[in-house]
A and B are shown apart, each in its own frame.
Chain A
Amino acid sequence: MPMLEEEIRQIMADETARLQAAPDLAERVMRASRGRRTRARVAALATSVAVIAAAPIGYLTVGSVATTGQEPTISAMPEPPAIDDTPPVPSKPRELGDLGDGKEFGQVKVGYLPERLRWSNWSVDFGDRYSTSYNFDGDKNSFYCVQIYMYEEAAVQELDDRIQQYRDEGDGEEVTIGDRTGYLVIQHVGEDGMKGTPTLFLRMGDRQRAEIMFSPTYAKEFSGAEAVSAELKRIAEGLTSTR
């Protein structure tokens, strides 16, 4: 093996040797899991929460082992750290309302959708970012087939930054959709090992962008990546701004 790889391996070993998982980790995981189930069942358990918060639950700080080499310190923490991608009590975002056939929402019109797809009755509205999706049965609880996420005004920068990251990584390709430009890429957004989310980012003027996504499951219905890309481009071609 080339030298640099061996040295990287050695330095990674040195760097992580100090790390030890907390002995009570399994217990904390199971407790958090039970807590999550409880929260889902009961909307408000103010009394219980107060009791839990007051209980002296020991939380091991692994970092303290790492830096001092001494016994782990225990600090009283009422709950495990907040998990940013699975918030325990998600607040329900606003929706876009009844979109009818779903072919016009926010400030955009959908001119083309693949066969058999219909509006899923699901939408979300964060103001300058909003989205809806399409699936086979129109059930908002079914998995999505196609999702269109719109970014406007200040939110445009967020999307442009994300596209730039893909460019920097050499991931994806520039595409032309009529007289507009776009970026085609497979996104890996935490599908836990699935084949990724085929996505086309479309520039719709200075202050409007669209992110058109195929679910990894839906993408399997097509003959291959080229067919998926072609369909994404057709959707993009039919997308028009009503701003």
Chain B
Amino acid sequence: MSGVERDFSAFVAARATSLLRVAYLACGDAAEAEDLLQTALERTYRSWDRVRHDSPEPYVRRVIVNAAISRARRRAILSIIPMHSPPERSARATDVDLRHVLMEALRALPPRQRAVIVLRYWEDLSETQTAEVLGCSVGTVKSQASKAMAKLRSALGRESAEGVIRNAHA
């Protein structure tokens, strides 16, 4: 194994699971997340000489998120994913359902809004860093995050859903 291959393998071994989780949250599907990750890593590997001297992880993350947005738009996923209503059953009976509802609500967000939520609240990126990943302004990140949160609140029914979530984690 060459030095480049050793370098790359070490990076993948250390960060692939974390990146797979980002990919899953960005696209909402485990199989597609694997495909996105592999695609992103292939692109990264082809540019490894250039990328490894900086920080490869932000580069891969950026490829993943932008590819997820691009694919979602191309496939017009938004037009075929139904919006879900908040569950009407009791809290204890819906632990799993509630998580499902929230994940479905996340999936139903427009791709860039979903990406903003994932980068801000999962990756803990600042608004500036999120804007850099998505290639947009900080103002756009703020407005997209605000719209996304409003949609999640609406889809979940903030008052009832937050109580149910608390019970689910109790």
Interface residues of A (CB under 8 A from B): 3-5, 7-16, 19-23, 25-30, 32-33, 36, 62-63, 66, 80-81, 83-86, 161-162, 165, 168-171, 186, 188-196
- Say whether B8 contacts A26, CB under 8 Å: yes
B170 within 8 A of A: no
| Given A11-B99, A29-B42, residue A21 in contact with residue B20 (CB < 8 A) | yes
Chain A residue nearest in CB terms to B122: A12
- Say whether B30 contacts A162, CB under 8 Å: no
Query: Shortest distance in angstroms between B81's beta carbon and chain A's nearest beta carbon?
Result: 12
- Say whether A25 contacts B37, CB under 8 Å: yes
B141 within 8 A of A: no
CB < 8 Å: which of A3, A27, A194 contacts B135?
A194
14 extra interface residue pairs, beta carbon distance < 8 Å, beyond A21-B16, A23-B13, A83-B42: A9-B122, A12-B25, A12-B122, A14-B99, A15-B103, A16-B25, A25-B37, A62-B34, A168-B78, A169-B112, A188-B136, A190-B69, A193-B133, A194-B135
Q: Chain B contacts of A169 at CB under 8 A?
A: 110, 112-113, 144, 147
- Say whether A25 contacts B62, CB under 8 Å: no
Q: Chain B contacts of A26 at CB under 8 A?
A: 8-9, 11-13, 16, 41
Most buried by A among B20, B25, B31: B20
Q: How far is the CA of A189 from the CA of B21 in the complex (A)?
A: 22
- Say whether B24 contacts A16, CB under 8 Å: yes
Q: Chain B contacts of A66 at CB under 8 A?
A: 30
- Say whether B17 contacts A81, CB under 8 Å: no
Total number of B residues with any Cβ neighbor in A under 8 Å: 65
Chain B residue nearest in CB terms to A20: B17
Interface residues of B (CB under 8 A from A): 5, 8-9, 11-13, 16-17, 19-21, 24-25, 30-31, 33-35, 37-39, 41-43, 45-46, 62-63, 66-67, 69-71, 73-74, 76, 78-79, 99, 102-103, 106, 110, 112-113, 117-118, 121-122, 132-136, 143-144, 147, 149, 152-153, 158, 162, 165-166, 169
Query: Shortest distance in angstroms between B158's beta carbon and chain A's nearest beta carbon?
Result: 7
- Say whether A4 contacts B136, CB under 8 Å: no
Query: Shortest distance in angstroms between B139's beta carbon and chain A's nearest beta carbon?
Result: 12
- Say whether A86 contacts B39, CB under 8 Å: yes
Q: Chain B contacts of A14 at CB under 8 A?
A: 99
Chain A residue nearest in CB terms to B70: A190
Query: Shortest distance in angstroms between A84's beta carbon and chain B's nearest beta carbon?
Result: 7
CB < 8 Å: which of A12, A27, A29, A192 contacts B121?
A12
Supply 23 A–B pairs (Cβ within 8 Å), ascending by A.
A7-B169, A8-B152, A12-B25, A15-B99, A16-B25, A21-B16, A21-B37, A25-B16, A25-B41, A26-B16, A62-B30, A63-B31, A81-B38, A85-B74, A161-B79, A165-B79, A165-B110, A169-B144, A189-B70, A192-B62, A192-B63, A193-B133, A195-B135
- Say whether B39 contacts A83, CB under 8 Å: yes
Q: How far is the CA of A25 from the CA of B15 in the complex (A)?
A: 11
Q: Chain A contacts of B17 at CB under 8 A?
A: 19-21
Query: Shortest distance in angstroms between A151's beta carbon and chain B's nearest beta carbon?
Result: 14
Q: How far is the CA of A84 from the CA of B27 in the complex (A)?
A: 14
- Say whether B117 contacts A170, CB under 8 Å: no
- Say whether A20 contacts B20, CB under 8 Å: yes
Q: Chain A contacts of B66 at CB under 8 A?
A: 188, 190-193
Q: Chain B contacts of A29 at CB under 8 A?
A: 8, 12, 38, 41-42, 45
